[in-house]
Amino acid sequence: MKLKQKIIYLLIYLVLACTSVYIAMQFWWTDYLTLSYLNRQVIALLGSVGLMWVGIVFLSIFIVRLLFLKEEKGFITPLNFIDEDFIKRRGLVYAKKVKYWFIGIAFGVLFLSISLFRYCMSIYKDNQLTANGVTQMVTVHEIKSDAQNNQYAHFKYYYNGQEYETNLPLNQLKQGDRTEIVFSKDNPDIVDYRTTYSKE
């Protein structure tokens, strides 16, 4: 495999992966209730996963080529692994081996990528709410339910003259109850119950 082809595979992966992460970060802080229904936020998040998957496919092809197909010429796509000419040249057993390695690597990288993203977002949320958190007493305006009948408390809160809304797990609250929440002054969409976080 030529250097140019290596660069192309890596560039495709990096561009799609970075685009995917950017899109996901724009909608990651959408509240739980909103994400329980099909809407633009959910479509955007699913689209970001799709972009990541396409990027991972090309990264997996790159890895498989380094491991098993160094002498293959040209630009390879997943369709090449089921191409009759490829199977005839490599043999059915070897072609299956390559295909299974490709699938294993692709799904493994996808799982690790999603897990790493969720972990990083969790750390970012914790840092935002502990270091830059603003606390506020709020009233449960309404009790809402998702499609699975999970219940959420609907709150309105204010920062810098702007109104924000969110839905958090009910936590045995009732309509009209007051509770304390904490949100990030850098990104007020990052919000949770105050009892979970303490500012140091």
What value does the mean pLDDT take over residues 109-124?
93
- How high is the mean pLDDT of the chain? 86
Same domain, 86 and 12: yes
In which band, very low, low, confident or very high, does the pLDDT at 29 lie, cut at 50, 70 and 90? confident
Question: Is the same domain home to 67 and 107?
Answer: yes
138 and 70 in a common domain? no
Position 194 in a domain:
no
Span 53-77, average pLDDT:
83
pLDDT at 166 over 50: yes
Give the domain range for residue 87: 3-129
195 within a domain of the structure (yes/no): no
Does 197 map to a domain? no
Task: Tally the domains of the chain.
Answer: 2
Nearest to 51 by CA among 74, 20, 15: 20
| Final residue in a domain of this structure, among 129, 161, 178 | 129
Same domain, 43 and 118: yes
pTM for the structure as a whole: 0.76
- The whole-number pLDDT of residue 200 equals 42
The tens digit of pLDDT for each residue in 117-133 reads 999 999 999 999 988 88
Q: Are 109 and 62 contained in the same domain?
A: yes
